[in-house]
Amino acid sequence: MIELVPRSSTGWRAQLAAYALALVLGFTTSALLIAASGASIIEGFGALYEGAFGSQEAILQSLVAATPLIFTGLATVIAFRAEIWSIGQEGQVFAGAMCGYWATLYLGDAPGLVSIPVIILAAMIGGALMGGFCGWLKTRFQVNEIISTVMLNYVIVYLLSYLLAGGPWTEEGSTSYHQTPVFTDNFHLPLLVDDVKLHIGFALALVAAAICWVILKKTPLGFEIRALGFNPTALRFKGVNVTRTVLIIMCISGALSALAGVSEIFGVNHRLRGDVMTGIGFTGIIVGMIGGLNPIGAVIAALLFGALANGSLYMSVLSDIPPSLVPAMQGILLLFFLTASVLVRYSIKFKGPAHV
């Protein structure tokens, strides 16, 4: 029998070493794969590096790619720390973008100073309601949150499909691409750096990470989140309103995911469509896990993911590596990272059978 035993604590050096080793092994395996395909390893990795960190422009592009993942990563951290297994980030990203768009329909030509906060607020409310709904199902009817959130993901994705495929939000004269008209300038998230599309969503994501860290470490709510994750029974015995705590956690998690939708739609694409948001929520779960369910860790993991995404893009454009190999490489690196993140937190014990 193999058993995973939680480690009491792992020093940062050991953690660093584990992730560095994962990186090395991941790249070695990828290199073998590239060599097998006949492409040049140096050219491939050179392009990957260029895209990830090679120039100011590339770095800024990586940050743009990381931004929504920071939000969904944080959403994962908040929920999973309380051992609430919400898989609803994907749908909440959509819900956020949709509620933000809904708000624009009433904002007309209101200046950005007014419209942007309204959009953000509307999105957060939308995401929070969606998360909160699953929290309510969990606390009121004992509906498992994994099931309810996954189901709701489908509902919201198809709702957007309906709205955009000839439904009321469809751009006139273009039913085919499932998109709204392009937003007017007052609905664009302001840019932090001109020409590279790095928008205030990135700054907002860092602020959100800081707030999450403070909540978890310094507030009574964070205390409850941690305690709830470890032992809800003791909380109940101490008279803590566990129902309320679960609802609050789900609302916060939903609101964070919603911000990912805002940042992707209002910061980058400037019109609402579904395909550009696909996967942000699910990737956020991985980001949160690799980040060790820690807000700072999630930011670092998201930045790595963003760099990897942009690096992969450069790799597929600039090198001769077959296009199908690039996502495979991403998968390989991810697997090594996930393995490292498990090994950092658990040690593996090989146990004999029952008689010990």
Partner 1 sequence: MSTPTIEARGLCKSFGPVRANHNISFSVDAGELFCLFGENGAGKSTLSACLTGLYPPNDGDILFKGEPLRMASAADAIRSGIGLVHQHFVLVPDFTVLENIVIGSEKGLIVPYKEAEAKLRQICETYGIEIEPNALVRDLSVGERQWAELLKALYFDADLLILDEPTATLDIENSKKLFRIIDKLKADGVALILISHFLDEVMQADRVAVLRQGELVGIRKTAETTPEELTRMMVGRDVEPKHREHSDVGPARLVLENVTVAGVGQVPDLNDVSFTIHQGEILGIAGVAGNGQNPLMEVIAGVRRPAFGRIILDGVVISDKAARDIKDMGLGHIPDDRFVEGLVPELSIEENLILGDHRGEYARGAFLDFPKMRQRAEQAIKEFQISTPSADIPAGNLSGGNAQRVILAREKRLATKVLLANQPTRGLDIGVIEYIHTRLLEKRAEGVAMLIASSELEDLLSLCDRIGVLFQGRLMGIVKTDQTNLEEIGLLMAGQPLENAA
Partner 2 sequence: MNIVKSLSMGASFLAMAGSFALAEEPSELGIGLILATGPEASWDATLMRDLETLIESAPHGLDISYKNINGVWGEQAGDAMDLLAKTGKYQIIWAHSSYSDQVKALQDKYPDILFVLVGSGNEGLGGNAYWVYKRAHEPSYLLGVMAGRLTESDVVGVVGQFPSEDVNDQINSFFAGARSVNSDVARKVAFIESWYDPAKAEQFTNAQIAAGADLTFQLVASFETCEKATIMCFGNYVDHGETSPDSVVASALISWTQDLNWVIDEWYDHAANGAPYEGNVTERWVSMANGGTALSGYHAFADKLSAELKDEIAILSAQISSGELEIPVDLSLPTSD
Give residues in contact with partner 1 (CB under 8 A).
8, 218-220, 223-224, 226-227, 230-231, 233-241, 352-356
Which of partner 2, partner 1, none lies near 310, with the C-beta cut-off 5 to 8 A by kind?
partner 2
Q: Is 302 in the site for partner 2 (CB under 8 A)?
A: no
Taking CB under 8 A as the rule, does residue 65 contact partner 2? Answer: yes
Residue of 5, 182, 191, 348 that binds partner 2 (CB under 8 A) = 182
Q: Is 178 in the site for partner 2 (CB under 8 A)?
A: yes
Smallest separation (angstroms) from partner 1 to the CB of 283: 28
Among 275, 331, 347, 351, binds partner 2 (CB under 8 A): 275
Q: How far is the CB of 81 from partner 2 (least distance, A)?
A: 30
The residues that bridge with 6 in the sheet, in sequence order, are: 346
Q: Which residues of 193-228 are buried (b: 16+ CB within 10 A; e: fewer)?
A: eeebbbbbbbebbeebbeebbebbeeeeebebbebb
Among 38, 323, 352, 353, binds partner 2 (CB under 8 A): 323
Site mask for partner 2 (CB under 8 A), range 126-165, x = bound: --------------------------------x--x---x
Based on the shown chain and the rule CB under 8 A, indicate whether residue 326 belongs to the binding site for partner 2. Answer: yes
Secondary structure of the chain in HEC code, one letter for each residue: CEEEEECCCCCHHHHHHHHHHHHHHHHHHHHHHHHHHCCCHHHHHHHHHHHHHHCHHHHHHHHHHHHHHHHHHHHHHHHHHCCCCCCCHHHHHHHHHHHHHHHHHHHCCCCHHHHHHHHHHHHHHHHHHHHHHHHHHHHHHCCCHHHHHHHHHHHHHHHHHHHHCCCCCCCCCCCCCCECCCCCHHHCCCEEECCCCEEHHHHHHHHHHHHHHHHHHHCHHHHHHHHHHHCHHHHHHCCCCHHHHHHHHHHHHHHHHHHHHHHHHHHHHCCCECHHHCCHHHHHHHHHHHCCCCHHHHHHHHHHHHHHHHHHHHHHHHCCCCCCHHHHHHHHHHHHHHHHHHHHHEEEEECCCCCC
- The least distance separating partner 2 from the CB of residue 222, rounded to whole angstroms, comes to 35
Is residue 184 part of the contact set for partner 2 (CB under 8 A)? no
Query: Which one of the spans 31-39, 131-139, 254-262, 305-313 is the region binding partner 2 (CB under 8 A)?
Result: 305-313
Position among 14, 24, 28, 174 found at the interface with partner 2 (CB under 8 A): 174
Q: Given the rule CB under 8 A, which of 144-152, 174-182, 209-217, 347-355 is the region that contacts partner 2?
A: 174-182
Least Å distance, CB 251 to partner 1, is 17
Is residue 313 at the binding interface for partner 2, with CB under 8 A as the rule? yes
- The nearest distance, CB 6 to partner 1, in angstroms, is 9
Q: Which residues bind partner 2 (CB under 8 A)?
A: 46-47, 50, 54-55, 57-58, 61, 64-65, 158, 161, 165-166, 174-178, 182, 197, 264, 268-271, 273, 275-276, 278, 309-310, 313-314, 316-318, 323-324, 326-327
